[in-house]
Amino acid sequence: MILRLFDCDFIGRHDCAVLIGPTGTGKSHLLTALGYTAAERGYSVCHTRVVDMINHLTAAQIKGVLGNTLRTYVRPSLLLLDELGYLPIDKRGADLLFQVVAARYETGSIVLSTNRPFREWGTLLDTDNTLATA
């Protein structure tokens, strides 16, 4: 399944993927390689750690320029989000992450790496499981 990601066909379909596994198994390395491959094939790519994106969006929200900053994460064909779950995310951060995911829904692909199983995402995102499932 991982090799099939590297054909990049999922990007044109606006599909998404989640890489789940323990620390040290190469998830971040795979994201980097996938971003490189997608860029070689002409796709626009943004690669960031989840916590860095949330910090960037939080600062923009405080400054009143959230709409412009959101475009940084909504515009690329492929958004690579690394390390979900390595640091805690508060309610504001979870809301901002949800805004990015919702804005990209059916318009852009996301590949996310995490060391946490789906069943922990409600706790991880400091929210209820309905929002985490979405």
Q: Which residue has the tokens 């790519």?
A: 45
- pLDDT the model gives residue 34: 98
d(CA 108, CA 15): 7
**Residue 64 main-chain phi, psi, to 5 deg:** 85, 20
Of the given ranges (11-25, 85-99, 102-116), which has the lowest mean pLDDT?
A: 85-99
- pLDDT the model gives residue 71: 96
Mean pLDDT of 72-83: 98
pTM for this structure?
A: 0.93
Average model confidence (pLDDT) for the chain? 93
